[in-house]
Amino acid sequence: MKLSACLLAALIFLCLPGPAVKAGEIAVGRFAEEGLAGWEVKEFEGLTRYRLVEEEGRRVLLAEADGSASGLVKKIAFDPAEYRYLRWRWKIEETVAQGDERTKAGDDYAARVYVIFPGRFFWQTRALNYIWANRLPAEGFVANAFTANAMLLAVRSGADQAGQWLEESRDLIADYRRVFGSDPPQAGAVAIMTDTDNTGGRARAWYGDISLSTQP
């Protein structure tokens, strides 16, 4: 069972109802102030190396994959109807040369951010998977080659902007409706993933702070 399916399975216990969070903004990952507090490593095929580094005067998270597949997961229960906007910063060194979103053999990505929506049963759990795509055009989406419960949505595509820090802001409700055709349920976790286990390649990516907001 490949990464995306494994991730959904591994997150079941993490996606049990957690404490409600009430604020205008939720700091999912505040790496400069909090480091990796609250994040858990989930290994699937070797370990992607995640470590905090100084990058352009900021403390950020560096991910390095070498034929490996592991992620960082943070359990956080929130209602997308209230915390509708997901924001983060990221940068990649380059895309995965042999990566292809439409095939199992090419299901590798230099950078991606998951939002997990747990169901009552495993097969009802869904994941909205924001990727830096290898070939899929920007704003395109496709079901993961291993499970239709994980939908891949290309926030960026190709290597033209590799090496640049980019800021993202996504409307979770609009994106979920677009890829799944319905309103999202309660969310249970956020995950970061850099992996190259299928292609056997290498990838480096940097992740900045991640937050959820009530305002665009």
SS3 per residue for the chain: CCHHHHHHHHCCCCCCCCCCCCCCEEEEECHHHHCCCCEEEEEEECCCEEEEEEECCEEEEEEEEECCEEEEEEEEEECCCCCCEEEEEEEECCCCCCCCCCCCCCCCEEEEEEEEECCCCHHHCEEEEEEEECCCCCCCEEECCCCCCEEEEEEEECCCCCCCCEEEEEEHHHHHHHHHCCCCCCEEEEEEEEECCCCCCEEEEEEEEEEEECCC
| Domain span including residue 150 | 3-213
Q: What is the CATH number of the domain that holds 76?
A: 2.60.120.260
Q: How many domains does the chain have?
A: 1
Q: What is the pLDDT of residue 62?
A: 98
Q: Is the pTM of this model over 0.75?
A: yes
Q: What is the pLDDT of residue 18?
A: 44
Series of mean pLDDT values for 10-residue runs along the chain (216 residues): 48 44 82 95 95 94 97 97 97 97 97 94 90 98 95 98 98 98 97 97 98 94
